[in-house]
């Protein structure tokens, strides 16, 4: 399997270079001066806090299936994020270089650690996490759009929702984000802008949410492929990406099965359609498969957003996600359950067996006007969400496993820090 992936990567890279040769540009001018480069470094941050009310008041305090908004009827400091970065200049005609360093503190950090990187540094609800630490470059060679290269630790390019609160419309996350895609990578990602329509992604990572070395997920030295393509059309963009590699921890599979021979496939297609000047549709298709446990899951989520006024935007998210073997979806009553489950360590996480989940979320983004520059862009996000087990288990309710339905009322505030 490893040889097949290497072949796929090399073939994709070769195809990229050949396709791009036809669009080759003249030799670019030199990069910007050091002074101009340093002056474009930015400092920014944000604070997110919120609560998710559950009328069922589960005895274990868990909103099953939510993960990041998984603690019921309590206020969470979800994240304090500080970022220093130098973005690539979109107007640069020569080589350009940048970097991003982003740290986070809060309850979200318990779910975003890379395995082997501070994952047990705190057993409390709030923890620290290094979200991103990478360098990147734009190289205007071979194709009309050039090549972007990113090296280091970075948030996954897969999926619609992201770790940073300000990048999402809703407070709660989808089943796809929680269980169907990676969150972070360590490795290399090359984006080749073949022409204005086609982008090709090829990359190597150390695994799903996995750092380097023997403490980094027990798959050190194993090849993991990250790649796919993007299409940029008039009113529609398509992003189709996959991550392939062994992910199961040591001791999780019975002998004589070798964990390095058992692959996990995470596939995601994102279709964004700007229907008109106001209405935007995002459709996400997801499929995940684990060879070692013969487990599969996947589904579809549809997002619609529409600005009602300059201050208020309304949105709806409808999702169906099937956990075919009861392997992926879980509740996490303990603070370290999520990372311990990833590492194959003892935990108190619990699932519901083979189940088809449906979720419908209505929400608003309220952005007050005339705020001080420091917090300009502050967003209040109330939402109401209905989850139902459409087939299979009954994971919700006062006693876990007692009900097929769950209604939650969530609200958070995302306050930017504009330095």
pLDDT single digits (tens) 259-292: 888 999 999 999 999 999 999 999 999 999 999 9
- The number of beta carbons lying within 10 Å of the beta carbon of residue 193 is 23
Which stretches of 211-346 are DSSP H helices?
337-343
Categorize the per-residue pLDDT at 15 as very low, low, confident or very high, splitting at 50, 70 and 90: very low
The pair phi, psi for residue 352, each rounded to 5°, is -130, 10
Structure tokens at 370: 């005339």
- Per-residue pLDDT for 36 more than 90? no
- Per-residue pLDDT for 29 more than 90? no
Q: Is the dihedral of CA 84, 88, 90, 93 positive or negative?
A: positive
Categorize the per-residue pLDDT at 58 as very low, low, confident or very high, splitting at 50, 70 and 90: very high
E strand or H helix that includes residue 137: strand 127-139
- Alpha carbons 302 and 272: distance in angstroms, whole number: 10
Each residue of 117-126: pLDDT tens digit? 888 888 899 9
Structure tokens at 274: 């700007």
- Per-residue pLDDT for 25 more than 50? no
E strand or H helix that includes residue 37: helix 34-39
Please state the rounded mean pLDDT for residues 201-223.
76
- Per-residue pLDDT for 377 more than 50? yes
pLDDT of residue 243: 98
The average confidence (pLDDT) of the chain is 90
Q: What percent of the chain has pLDDT over 90?
A: 76
Beta strands (DSSP E) in 310-374 are 312-323, 355-366
Q: What percent of the chain has pLDDT over 70?
A: 90
CB 64 within 8 A of CB 54: no
C-alpha distances in Å from residue 21, one per residue of 13, 192, 195:
12, 12, 10
pLDDT of residue 250: 80
- Alpha carbons 190 and 142: distance in angstroms, whole number: 13
Q: Which of 132, 143, 47, 20 is closest to 87 using CA atoms?
A: 132
- Alpha carbons 403 and 19: distance in angstroms, whole number: 54
- Per-residue pLDDT for 13 more than 50? no
Categorize the per-residue pLDDT at 253 as very low, low, confident or very high, splitting at 50, 70 and 90: confident
**Max avg pLDDT among 127-131, 218-222, 342-346:** 127-131
The whole-model pTM stands at 0.90
Domains and CATH numbers, the chain: 2-23+53-418 (2.40.160.10)
Q: Which of 92, 123, 95 is closest to 110 using CA atoms?
A: 123
E strand or H helix that includes residue 20: helix 2-21
E strand or H helix that includes residue 66: none
CB 107 within 8 A of CB 77: yes
Residue keyed to tokens 């360093």: 101
Structure tokens at 242: 């996959």
- Alpha carbons 244 and 395: distance in angstroms, whole number: 30
Range in 98-112, 240-254, 297-311, 374-388 the model is least confident about: 240-254
E strand or H helix that includes residue 16: helix 2-21
């Amino acid at each position: 399997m490893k040889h097949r992936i290497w072949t796929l990567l090399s073939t994709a890279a070769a195809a990229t270079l050949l396709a791009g040769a036809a669009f080759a540009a003249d030799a670019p001018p030199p990069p910007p001066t050091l002074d101009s480069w340093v002056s474009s470094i930015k400092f920014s941050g944000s604070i997110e806090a919120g609560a998710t009310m559950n009328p069922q008041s589960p005895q274990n305090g868990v909103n099953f299936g939510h993960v990041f908004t998984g603690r019921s009827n309590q206020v969470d400091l979800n994240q304090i994020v500080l970022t220093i970065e130098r973005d690539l200049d979109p107007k640069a005609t020569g080589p350009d270089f940048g970097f991003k360093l982003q740290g986070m503190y809060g309850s979200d950090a318990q779910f975003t650690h890379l395995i082997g990187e501070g994952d047990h540094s705190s057993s409390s609800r709030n923890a620290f996490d290094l979200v991103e630490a990478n360098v990147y470059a734009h190289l205007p060679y071979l194709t009309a759009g050039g090549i972007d290269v990113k090296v280091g630790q970075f948030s996954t390019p897969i999926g619609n929702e992201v770790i940073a609160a300000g990048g999402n419309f809703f407070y709660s996350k989808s089943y796809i984000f929680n269980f169907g895609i990676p969150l972070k990578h360590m490795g290399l990602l090359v984006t080749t802008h073949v022409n204005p329509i086609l982008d090709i992604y090829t990359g190597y990572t150390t695994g799903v949410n996995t750092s380097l070395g023997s403490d980094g997920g027990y798959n050190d030295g194993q090849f993991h492929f990250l790649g796919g393509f993007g299409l940029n059309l008039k009113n529609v963009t398509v992003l189709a990406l996959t991550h392939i590699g062994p992910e199961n921890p040591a001791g999780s599979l019975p002998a004589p099965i070798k964990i390095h021979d058992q692959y996990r496939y995470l596939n995601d297609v994102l279709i964004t359609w700007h229907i008109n000047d106001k209405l935007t549709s995002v459709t996400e298709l997801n499929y995940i498969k684990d060879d070692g446990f013969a487990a599969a899951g996947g589904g579809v989520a549809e997002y619609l957003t529409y600005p009602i006024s300059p201050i208020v935007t309304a949105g709806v998210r409808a999702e169906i996600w099937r956990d075919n073997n009861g392997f992926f979806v879980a509740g996490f009553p303990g603070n370290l359950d999520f990372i311990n489950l990833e590492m194959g360590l003892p935990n108190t996480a619990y699932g519901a067996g083979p189940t088809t989940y449906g979720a419908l979320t209505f929400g608003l983004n309220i952005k007050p006007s005339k705020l001080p520059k420091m917090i300009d862009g502050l967003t209040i996000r109330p939402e109401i969400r209905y989850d139902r087990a459409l087939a299979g288990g009954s994971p919700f309710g006062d006693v876990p496993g007692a009900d097929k339905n769950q209604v939650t009322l969530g609200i958070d505030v995302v306050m930017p820090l504009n330095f």
